[in-house]
């Protein structure tokens, strides 16, 4: 049997070639799925059983891709980086909980060559006692995180909370992981509502400072005459009415962790000079004090302003700009990634409907949303969905008519309104531009075109048969909801 490994003689620290040849076929046959990655955590092989678990129609399509772009919660990069196995782990993938074991393997020189993972169980029924304990601990962990979040010193978001599958979003996530691996200042640029704080918290949670505090401050929300005290603290009795004890500033509270400066473009020039000194010298001087306090803080700055123009106009110090902009993450506005709107609606509605009956959104309604300009980005999209959900009085489906009531400035309505009682024969077909059927008998068309058309027809028929209920359509097609939404989003962009 051919395995996904090269024929190395192995290493005393990891799997040997002989062990791979003996053990791998048994594990692969006994497991519910198997996958292998190279030393860069790119997928080199995946078997059909694992592909079905993940809802992948084509195993060849994921070869060469980062494992995190296919399985966002995968810990394979951790195994590759550390060279240590994770023998038993519960991995959550959408609604599934998989019991997984992960093993590294090495080349002749003892260097890491990659890793392999086996899904030991895709049904947790045999592990009910263990899972009950896990869920109890997980519940306690979430409660502890919520308690910490109330203090403003911990993170609530992970990278998976930045929703999207478009190339622009994948690039943002790639840069966030890259920044998390290095202790450098980061500058996030993006319009309001694009998710800058979500990414900042995710970056902190992925970094080596994850155990330290995360302190966020909105520069634009603090009066200018209080900014210095907020940042650097106040010495006892520094001015009339001041506390007789030292009042810590944001830098002291973020010691050992991350300081997130939101809307840094609104910072006055005088404070910019002091922030620059704090970043360069890694020390601060509280207001009214001669004491120098060393600081160990990573700064993440964010703004919706055009900092380069502000530097040119003299409204933002160029030296501070270059100090903050060691790594830049440009966050695209929602209007530039319409393919993500369907996935975002799925995620936001699940949160909005928490504790209530599940509400779906029709394809025509998603198409209507994709025509909107979204000046408020994801924050505005959530607002629209919440209003639509409220006005629908908990209806099972949000349709075009409901959304038009909360989108007074919506783009031109789509021609075909929602018809829950439509049948397959009346369902609108999805036709890809440039993929029209050949007019001449015997014309050979590219296989990719034929497959794309067949996939579009299958999705259209499934939606019609399920009365536009996309969750049911996904189950009918045998794919996960996330995969179904991604395919639907691509078709919506091409149609």
Residues linked to residue 101 through DSSP beta bridges, in sequence order: 118
Lowest mean pLDDT among 86-100, 348-362, 402-416, 468-482: 402-416
Radius of gyration of the chain (CA): 26
Rounded distance, CA 236 to CA 67, Å?
Answer: 53
Per-residue pLDDT of 214-228, as tens digits, reads: 999 999 888 888 888
Residues ≥6 apart with Cβ < 8 Å to 456: 429, 430, 431, 432, 491
Per-residue pLDDT of 254-312, as tens digits, reads: 999 999 999 999 999 989 999 999 999 999 988 877 888 899 999 999 999 999 999 99
pTM more than 0.75: no
Structure tokens at 40: 């860069």
- Measured CA distances, 199 to 147, 155, 457 (Å): 21, 11, 37
User: Which residue would you say has higher pLDDT here, 140 or 176?
Assistant: 176
Q: DSSP letters along 16-70, please?
A: -HHHHHHHHHHHHHHSSEEEEEETTSBEEEE-HHHHHHHT-S-SGGGTTSBHHHH
Helix (H, G, I), strand (E, B) or coil at 145: helix
Helix (H, G, I), strand (E, B) or coil at 96: strand
pLDDT computed for residue 288 by the predictor: 79
Torsion of CA 321, 322, 323, 328, to 10 degrees: 90
Per-residue confidence band for 466, with pLDDT thresholds at 50, 70 and 90:
confident
Share of the chain above pLDDT 70, in %: 77
Range with top average pLDDT, 62-76, 189-203, 286-300, 406-420: 189-203
Quick one: average pLDDT of 50-74? 85
Rounded distance, CA 204 to CA 186, Å?
Answer: 11
Share of the chain above pLDDT 90, in %: 30
Phi (first) and psi of residue 289, to 5 degrees: -130, 155
CB atoms within 10 A of CB 55: 20
Which of the 8 DSSP states describes residue 8?
Answer: -
Residue 29 has pLDDT above 60, yes or no: yes
Nearest to 116 by CA among 211, 37, 198: 37
Q: Within 13 Å and on the Cβ side, how many CA atoms surround 398?
A: 31
Structure tokens at 17: 């070639």
Phi (first) and psi of residue 306, to 5 degrees: -90, 95
Structure tokens at 125: 């029924």
Per-residue confidence band for 245, with pLDDT thresholds at 50, 70 and 90:
low
pLDDT computed for residue 184 by the predictor: 93
Quick one: average pLDDT of 108-118? 84
pLDDT computed for residue 28 by the predictor: 72
| Cα angle 406-408-412, degrees, rounded to a multiple of 5 | 115
Sheet holding 214-218, edge to edge: 214-218, 258-262, 298-303, 186-189, 327-330
CB atoms within 10 A of CB 23: 14
User: Which residue would you say has higher pLDDT here, 149 or 45?
Assistant: 45
Q: What would you measure as the largest C-alpha separation in the chain, in angstroms?
A: 91
Lowest mean pLDDT among 66-75, 122-131, 245-254, 409-418: 409-418
Per-residue pLDDT of 319-361, as tens digits, reads: 999 999 999 999 999 999 998 998 899 889 888 887 777 788 8
* Pairing status of strand 327-330 against strand 283-284: unpaired
pLDDT computed for residue 408 by the predictor: 61
Residue 55 has pLDDT above 90, yes or no: no
CB atoms within 10 A of CB 190: 19
Rounded distance, CA 11 to CA 23, Å?
Answer: 16
Lowest mean pLDDT among 48-52, 124-128, 341-345: 124-128
Per-residue confidence band for 69, with pLDDT thresholds at 50, 70 and 90:
confident
Work out the mean pLDDT of the chain and round it to a whole number.
79
Per-residue pLDDT of 144-194, as tens digits, reads: 655 655 554 567 888 888 988 889 999 999 999 999 999 999 999 999 999
What are the chain's domains? Answer: 17-129 (3.30.450.20), 159-332 (3.40.50.300), 335-418 (1.10.8.60), 423-495 (no CATH)
Nearest to 406 by CA among 457, 451, 372, 439: 372
Rounded distance, CA 374 to CA 410, Å?
Answer: 10
Rounded distance, CA 298 to CA 200, Å?
Answer: 11
């Amino acid at each position: 049997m051919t395995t996904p490994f090269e024929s190395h003689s192995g290493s005393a620290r990891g799997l040997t070639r002989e062990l791979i040849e003996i053990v791998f076929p048994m594990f692969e046959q006994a497991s519910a799925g198997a996958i292998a990655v190279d030393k860069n955590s790119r997928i080199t092989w995946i078997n059909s059983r694992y592909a079905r678990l993940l809802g992948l129609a084509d195993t060849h399509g994921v070869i060469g891709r980062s494992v995190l772009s296919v399985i966002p919660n995968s810990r394979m990069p951790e195994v590759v980086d550390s060279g240590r196995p994770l023998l038993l782990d519960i991995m959550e993938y959408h609604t599934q909980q998989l019991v997984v074991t992960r093993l590294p393997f090495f080349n002749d020189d003892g260097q890491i060559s990659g890793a392999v993972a086996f899904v030991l169980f895709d049904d947790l029924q045999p592990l009910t006692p263990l899972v009950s304990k896990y869920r109890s601990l997980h519940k306690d962990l979430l409660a502890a995180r919520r308690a910490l979040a109330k203090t403003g010193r911990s993170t609530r978001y992970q990278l998976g909370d930045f929703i999207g599958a478009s190339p622009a979003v994948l690039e943002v996530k790639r840069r966030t992981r890259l920044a998390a691996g290095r202790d450098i200042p980061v500058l996030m640029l993006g319009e309001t509502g694009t998710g800058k704080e979500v990414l900042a918290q995710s970056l902190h949670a992925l970094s080596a400072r994850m155990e330290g505090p995360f302190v966020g401050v909105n520069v634009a929300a603090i009066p200018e005459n209080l900014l210095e005290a907020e940042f650097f603290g106040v010495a006892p009795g520094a001015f009339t009415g001041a506390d007789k004890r030292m009042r810590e500033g944001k830098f002291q509270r973020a010691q050992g962790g991350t300081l997130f400066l939101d809307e840094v473009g609104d910072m006055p020039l005088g404070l910019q000079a002091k922030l620059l000194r704090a970043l360069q010298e890694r020390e601060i001087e509280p207001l009214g004090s001669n004491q120098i306090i060393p600081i160990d803080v990573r700064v993440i700055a964010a703004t919706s302003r055009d900092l380069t123009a502000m530097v040119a106009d003299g409204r933002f110090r160029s030296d501070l700009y270059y100090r903050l902009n060691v790594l830049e993450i440009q966050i695209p506005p929602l209007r530039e990634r319409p393919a993500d709107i369907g996935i975002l609606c799925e995620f936001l509605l699940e949160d909005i409907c928490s504790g209530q009956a599940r509400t779906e959104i029709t394809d025509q309604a998603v198409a209507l949303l994709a025509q909107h300009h979204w000046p408020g980005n994801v924050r505005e999209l959530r607002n629209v969905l919440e209003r639509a959900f409220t006005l629908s009085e908990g209806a099972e489906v949000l349709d075009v008519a409901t959304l038009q009531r909360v989108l007074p400035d919506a783009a031109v309505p789509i021609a075909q309104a929602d018809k829950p009682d439509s049948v397959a024969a009346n369902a609108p077909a999805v036709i890809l531009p440039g993929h029209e059927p050949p007019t001449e008998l015997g014309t050979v068309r590219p296989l990719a075109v034929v497959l794309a058309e067949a996939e579009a027809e299958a999705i259209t028929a499934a939606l019609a048969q399920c009365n536009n209920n996309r969750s049911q359509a996904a189950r009918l097609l045998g794919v996960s909801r996330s995969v179904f939404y991604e395919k639907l989003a691509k078709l919506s962009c091409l149609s």
